[in-house]
Amino acid sequence: MKKLYLVLVVGVCMILSPIFASAEGFTISVKPEIPDNQKDTSQTMYNIQMAPNEEKEYVLHVTNDGEEERKVAIMMTDATTLPDGTIDMSNPQVKLIKKAKNKLSELASLQQDTLVIPAKSTKDATFTIKTPKEEMPGIILGAIYVLDKNEKGNSKDNEKAGMSIRNQMGYTTEVMLSLSDQQVKAKLALDKLKVGTYMGHPSLEIPIQNINPNIVPNVTVKTEIKKVGASEILVTDTKKNNQLAPQAFFPHQVKLSEDKIKNGTYTALIKADSDYGHWEWQREFKITKHQAKDINQRTEQGVNKLPWWVYILIIIGLILVILVSYLIYNVRKKNDNKK
């Protein structure tokens, strides 16, 4: 069990690498003040051990390296799994499974949710964690998230346009809390399948639930889809190296078609494998005529309507080609005149 625990901790540290903000002009940086209950002082995250019914204060140093005053928002977030199989902690409104217990966002409280930081200065964001009365195996995973309120841009508008700039406007410092050294066995479950669109294609969402409070690393998900009563496999899909956050959904997406889908009743055989277990489910799902028509229309719109920034990139590319061609022409003309 100790070997398993060490493997999980090393894996977590590799998975939870810090996310640096990369927006142009971003001047905020953060640094955790390593507490005395830190498990590994070489880490740039809070990897902490606490006892049941304990209360402790933690500090994050937030620095403004810019020439102007900055205003930042501070939030406590819970870990979740994105459709691409990576763990994310930058969303304060994440939806965990119904049976999720002891979420970091509920155990931790902030002394202030906003900081105004003068130019070339540092201020502290302080949060307190109050642990539950009972001992709990596994880990509680989340983050303290700093968002630069001075950065321009609306993340929702940019997501609609085909871009997400959420991580470009903030910095995530992970918090991994243990209340005991005891680990729990990995347990996955399957929620209701959903048909829709993803990345411009008809898609089947397979919501896999990580039931217990531990990370299940390097999960391979294999899917086969057939029409009910038929032997022909219509869709095969394999996705490796998925990292499943504790007590969270993994909204795994399987592309159903390159273009249009047909209504009917289908069956999906789903297998999930990792070093910590094997799970297998078989589920039926229906695509009604109305659903098929709606999804096909949205797919066509997604294919035909490119985001605005794609057109800008095309125009910039054409201008660069013209400028380079003009410069080459001038250089050659000068060389010919010298001869």
What type of residue sits at position 122? T
Phi, psi of 322 (to 5 degrees): -65, -45
Contacting residues for 34 by C-beta, under 8 A, at least 6 apart? 41
Contacting residues for 124 by C-beta, under 8 A, at least 6 apart? 33, 59, 60, 61, 62
Same domain assignment for residues 59 and 151: yes
Q: In this predicted structure, what is the pLDDT of residue 89?
A: 93
User: What is the tally of structural domains in the chain?
Assistant: 3
Q: What angle do CA 84, 174, 160 make, to 5 degrees?
A: 40
For residue 161, the SS3 value is coil
- Domain that residue 317 falls in: 311-339
Same domain assignment for residues 158 and 215: no
Below-50 pLDDT ranges, the chain: 1-7, 9-10, 14, 17-24, 153-168, 304
**pTM, 2 dp:** 0.77
Same domain assignment for residues 114 and 206: no
For residue 242, the SS3 value is strand
**Of 128, 144, 178, the domain-final residue:** 178
Same domain assignment for residues 248 and 327: no
Q: In this predicted structure, what is the pLDDT of residue 165?
A: 34
**Of 178, 206, 230, the domain-final residue:** 178
Residue 104 belongs to domain with CATH number: 2.60.40.10
What digits encode the pLDDT tens for the residues 186-243? 999 999 999 999 988 899 999 999 999 999 999 999 999 999 999 999 999 999 999 9
